[in-house]
């Protein structure tokens, strides 16, 4: 009996020993499997395509979609029954969006395309027609860089009849060859604006009401005819006020808005009731104009819009009185008026302000004894001033 029990005890101990060995092996295998699983889990959680990364990306896309939706709702809520954006409503609606930047104190047609940013990282372009686009970042280029742009060769020049320019004789504007081109502006949508290093060597003259009515259209059309590249689908146009003002910083814009000289205060309306109340017909279509009324137009065209789809033979009309919104200003243009200034210099200022040239823009002003309507002009001999030069017989 004793021997049998002793043998059973030995067998039990042996079994326990064997069980202990199996348990240790199983434990090691289990640990290895868990480590492998943990590695797989960590890899699935982390990395560029990991769950955590994808969750972060999804969260950011959701935030961006919400930001864009807020901007879209602000724009939609600003469109009136005429299917056009009301600039005042747009300003108010955009300012309701939390953490938005880029909204001007006063939105005008010249501010389009308008770029706004939500939460400091989601930027959108609002176009004048109400469409919204994303900002495109361009790498490897900067303002002031030279670009190898070639334009179509035109041998005949541009024929400008007196019946369109208002000048005393017909004109032929020849193409200037060998122009070099630089980057003036990189638009939020990724497109690039170029400017010739020097102004084309050709004089153009406008005169009277015809000159005012057709000036902007003709200046742009001359550039289109002489400096486009048809094979690339690139269309040239003239520099206008929007190009200059879009490069000016808050200091420069504040100086423009503060202009006050000879009875002309920028942005203010003034009514003229004297004898010289003729106005170019196009002016009646412009924002800020008031023909025989003190209520000025707010749903018209801007000073840099062509106004006509082809040259007109319309001249002027006489009013009883004219209410004119002043958009004349004469400023010195130091480097610190421009966004790219570094305290003492500005590449943009140097590119824009190196010689005399017409701008594809108009202006109106109301002095004490007459109202004037003219095509805008830049004249550097006035100590780097953006100045509108009188063209003969542009007033009545």
CA 103 – CA 48 distance, rounded (Å): 36
Q: Is pLDDT of 271 > 60?
A: yes
CA dihedral 307, 313, 319, 322 (to 10 degrees): 30
| Least confident piece of the model among 64-78, 145-159, 306-320, 372-386 | 372-386
What confidence score (pLDDT) does residue 40 get? 63
The residue behind tokens 């309507």 is 373
The closest alpha carbon to 223, from 302, 158, 144, belongs to: 158
Going by pLDDT thresholds of 50, 70 and 90, the confidence category of residue 342 is: confident
Quick one: average pLDDT of 218-245? Answer: 92
What pTM was estimated for this model as a whole?
A: 0.71
Distances (CA, A) of 157 to 172, 202, 226, 384: 6, 10, 7, 31
**Residues 344-356, mean pLDDT to the nearest whole number:** 84
**Per-residue confidence at 389, pLDDT binned at 50, 70, 90?**
very low
What rounded mean pLDDT belongs to the chain? 82
388 pLDDT above the threshold of 50: no
Q: Pairing relation of β-strands 181-186 and 146-147?
A: antiparallel
The residues pairing with 324 across neighbouring beta strands, listed in sequence order, are 270, 289
pLDDT computed for residue 93 by the predictor: 93
- Residue 150 dihedral angles phi and psi, to the nearest 5°: -120, 145
For 129-143, how does the pLDDT look when each residue is reduced to its tens digit (9 = 90+)?
888 888 777 778 889
pLDDT tier, 216 (very low <50, low <70, confident <90, very high otherwise): very high
pLDDT of residue 290: 94
pLDDT at 139: 77
Summarize pLDDT for 286-311 with one digit per residue, the tens: 999 999 999 999 889 999 999 899 99
Return the pLDDT at 381: 40
Q: pLDDT band at 379, cuts 50/70/90?
A: low
- What DSSP assignment string belongs to 31-75? HHHHHHHHHHHHHHHSSTTSHHHHHHHHHHHHHHHHHHHHHHHHH
**Average pLDDT of 80-96?**
90
Q: Distance (Å, rounded) from C-alpha 306 to C-alpha 314?
A: 14
Q: CA gyration radius for the chain?
A: 34
Confidence of residue 230 (pLDDT cuts 50, 70, 90): very high
* Strands 122-126, 114-118: pairing kind: antiparallel
Distance CA 68, CA 132 (A): 9
Q: Is the pLDDT of residue 180 over 50?
A: yes
Q: Which residue has the tokens 């790219």?
A: 340
Instruction: List pLDDT tens digits, range 102-116.
Output: 888 888 877 888 888
Q: How confident is the model at residue 390 (pLDDT cuts 50, 70, 90)?
A: very low
Give the pLDDT confidence score for residue 56 in this predicted structure.
63
User: 385 pLDDT exceeds 50?
Assistant: no
Chain segment 251-268, per-residue pLDDT in tens: 999 999 999 988 888 999
């Amino acid at each position: 009996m004793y021997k049998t029990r002793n043998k059973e005890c030995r067998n039990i101990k042996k079994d326990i020993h064997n069980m202990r060995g199996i348990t240790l092996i199983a434990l090691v295998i289990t640990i290895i499997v868990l480590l492998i699983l943990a590695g797989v889990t960590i890899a699935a959680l982390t990395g560029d395509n990991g769950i955590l990364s994808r969750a972060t990306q999804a969260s950011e896309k959701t935030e961006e979609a919400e930001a864009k939706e807020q901007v879209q709702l602000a724009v939609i809520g600003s469109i009136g029954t005429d299917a056009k954006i009301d600039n005042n409503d747009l300003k108010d609606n955009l300012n309701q969006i939390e953490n938005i930047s880029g909204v001007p104190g006063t939105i005008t047609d010249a501010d389009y395309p308008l770029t706004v940013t939500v939460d400091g990282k989601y930027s959108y372009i609002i176009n004048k027609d109400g469409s919204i686009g994303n900002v495109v970042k361009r790498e490897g280029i900067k303002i002031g860089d030279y670009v190898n742009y070639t334009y179509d060769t035109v041998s005949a020049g541009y024929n400008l009849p007196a019946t369109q320019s208002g000048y005393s004789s017909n004109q032929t504007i020849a193409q200037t060859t060998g122009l070099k081109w630089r980057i003036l502006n990189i638009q939020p949508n990724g497109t690039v604006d170029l400017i010739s290093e020097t102004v084309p060597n050709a004089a153009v003259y406008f005169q009277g009401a015809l000159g005012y009515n057709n000036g902007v259209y003709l200046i742009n059309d001359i550039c289109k005819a002489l400096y486009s590249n048809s094979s690339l689908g690139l269309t040239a146009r003239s520099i206008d006020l929007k190009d200059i003002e879009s490069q000016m910083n808050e200091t420069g814009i504040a100086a423009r808005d503060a202009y006050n000289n000879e009875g002309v205060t920028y942005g203010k309306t003034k009514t003229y009731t004297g004898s010289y109340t003729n106005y170019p017909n196009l002016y009646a279509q412009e924002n800020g104009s008031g023909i025989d009324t003190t209520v000025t137009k707010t749903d018209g065209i801007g000073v840099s819009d062509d106004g006509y789809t082809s040259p007109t033979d319309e001249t002027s009309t006489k009013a009883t009185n004219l209410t004119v919104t002043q958009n004349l200003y004469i400023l010195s243009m130091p480097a610190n008026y421009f966004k790219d200034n570094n305290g003492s210099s500005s590449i943009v200022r140097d590119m824009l302000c190196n010689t005399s040239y017409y701008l594809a823009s108009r202006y109106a002003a109301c002095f004490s004894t007459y109202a004037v309507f003219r095509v805008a002009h830049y004249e550097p001999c006035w100590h780097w001033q953006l100045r509108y030069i009188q063209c003969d017989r542009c007033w009545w």
